[in-house]
Structure 1
Amino acid sequence: MQSDPGPDNPTMGPGSQRVALITGAAGSLGRAIAHRFASAGFRIALVGRRQPVLDELAAEIEAAESGIATTVVADLAEPGGAARAIAHAHHRFGRVDVLVNSAGGWTGSALGPFAEKSEKDLRTELENNLITTVLACRAAIPHMLDQHYGRIVNISSIAGIIGLEGHAAYSAAKAGHIGLARQLALELGKNSITANCVAPGPVSTAQVRRMLEQGHPGIQAMLEATPTGRLTSAEQIADAVAFFASETSGQINGQFLVIDGGMSST
């Protein structure tokens, strides 16, 4: 077994030789998080559904941060997809220290009044936004237990805390991220494994900016309800994720950090 990279091991500096696996790496948030970890010296496993985008991101990391990245194309909601992604990272790098669950997002077919949504649409939304995270955690935890160290960070949402009109399944899934982190904190804390959540409000992703340009009433209303009057940047979310993955936060476990410019306080 490789040496424990925990805070009591003097042979490993911050980020040195550590490995971060990021799901949903092809998206705007996943990309920002990957660059943030690479800049801290982590080796990166990029997981997503679009090989060309993952390859482009890996090349960016190797050029901008002189980092080391590997890519895995996988649908984490499918049987065996998460296990294959984790196994690839472990085979490539020998360990998985940080799991960032960034896979997911809104699916248009699930939007609207809950009672009007089909079972298929609801299942798809839950699979994309919760089952992917559950299965990724299930696949990564045995490796973290073996090395007596790990950091799990779920990307939740304020929708999982205050709800979001027309997004019942998405809100349920994001609330599930918080519940899962709390449960894992209880079960795994004694093994130097922590689990936490970042809960963003509207983030300046390509999708959100496009919706604003199209005059989407829901996104516009959320922005108007944000006291700071602006979207959160993907880089600000990445900084919060990096904090939860750091030794500084070693005693923070089972918590969630809301980053919404004060929207949920109004």
Structure 2
Amino acid sequence: MDLRIKGKIALVTASSGGMGRNIAHALAAEGANIALFARSAEKLAEVAAEIERSYGVRALPIVGDMTSTEDTARLASTLEREMGGTDIVILNTARPPNPIRTTIDENDPNRWKEAYDNQLLSVIQVVSAVLPGMTQRGWGRVVAVTSASVKQPMPHHSLSTVFRAGVTAYMKHLANEVGQHGITVNCVAPALIDTSHRNSAAAYSASQTEARKRLTPLGRLGTQEEISSVVTFLASVQAGFINGATVPVEGGMVGSLY
């Protein structure tokens, strides 16, 4: 299927590695030109080179912090100057502080502030900076990567659930306000996605992986390609009548009807 985004400009945040990098690759494979935004200049340059070499599109690395008003303002001005603005915004954010803890043990204000800054404030900062330009152009797609825990809270995930639920509410309000400008706003809520690519404490252990596989009727973890493909579809022309929705990508883990 041709998603009809060839030549569109897609901004992907937190795209120096992991899910953000994979989403950037998926959009580039559809012919979109990519703006990469993250804090690591070296890693961003590597991803940009990968994308340009693999797909023949433009990839612009922009170094900055999603939680910084100054950096997100510079992001918006750079996008306008270098790429004529952006058509698609993918809001990928940092993970909550590690290690994860039970809710009653999440009593450190610094951890709560870090989670708020990285997962909710960061989204608001980027949207506030780039959305005015999108409304002037009269077309756009905004997709936030949240978590299935906003529909079915998972043990030890309160730091993530609280603020990703906030992102979901923010995006719903935004969808109601900017649809008149031809912009759709949606969320993708993943869970049980394979993290074997991570070389960090955030990766699942073998026992955690097996336990997580049993949480879905499919009996396996989801792939990075499966989550990236859903995000990319929501960025497409064909997804133009999906607005204010949260699309779960969790293999049937969530037990509710809605």
TM-score above 0.5: yes
The alpha-carbon deviation at position 115 of structure 1 amounts to 5.2
Equivalent of 1:212, from 204, 217, 226? Answer: 204
Counterpart residue type for residue 226 of structure 1:
T
The alpha-carbon deviation at position 209 of structure 1 amounts to 9.0
The alpha-carbon deviation at position 220 of structure 1 amounts to 4.7
Q: Which secondary structure state, in structure 1, belongs to the residue aligned with residue 61 of structure 2? A: strand
Counterpart residue type for residue 153 of structure 2:
G
- Equivalent residues in 2 for 1:216-227 (5 A)? 216=208, 220-227=210-217
Q: Report how many residues are paired.
A: 252
Determine if contact 1:17/1:41 at 8 Å carries over to the other structure.
Answer: yes
Determine if contact 2:212/2:221 at 8 Å carries over to the other structure.
Answer: no
Determine if contact 2:5/2:237 at 8 Å carries over to the other structure.
Answer: no
Does residue 164 (structure 1) correspond to residue 149 (structure 2)? The answer is no
Determine if contact 1:237/1:259 at 8 Å carries over to the other structure.
Answer: yes
State the partner residue of 1:62.
52
Does residue 23 (structure 1) correspond to residue 1 (structure 2)? The answer is no
- Equivalent residues in 2 for 1:118-197 (5 A)? 118-197=108-187
Which digits, 9 at most, give the CA deviation of each residue in 1:75-106, with x for residues without a partner? 11123222222222221100200000012213
Alignment RMSD (CA, Å): 2.0
With the length of structure 2 as denominator, give the TM-score of the two structures: 0.91
Label 1:42 to 1:202 Cα distance change in 2 as closer, same or farther (>3 A): same
Q: Which secondary structure state, in structure 1, belongs to the residue aligned with residue 247 of structure 2? A: strand
Instruction: State how far apart, in whole Å, the 2-side matches of 1:23 and 1:112 are.
Output: 29
State the partner residue of 2:191.
201
- Which has the larger helix fraction? 1
Determine if contact 1:110/1:121 at 8 Å carries over to the other structure.
Answer: no
Please, which runs of 5 or more residues in structure 1 have no aligned partner?
A: 1-12
Counterpart residue type for residue 85 of structure 1:
L
- Equivalent residues in 2 for 1:27-66 (5 A)? 27-66=17-56
User: For structure 1, which segment, 64-73 or 81-90, has the greater mean C-alpha deviation from structure 2 after superposition?
Assistant: 81-90
Instruction: State how far apart, in whole Å, the 2-side matches of 1:187 and 1:114 are.
Output: 37
Percent identity, aligned pairs only, is: 29
The alpha-carbon deviation at position 46 of structure 1 amounts to 0.3
Which digits, 9 at most, give the CA deviation of each residue in 1:134-164, with x for residues without a partner? 1111111101111111110000111121112
- Equivalent residues in 2 for 1:2-13 (5 A)? none
With the length of structure 1 as denominator, give the TM-score of the two structures: 0.88
Instruction: State how far apart, in whole Å, the 2-side matches of 1:109 and 1:263 are.
Output: 23
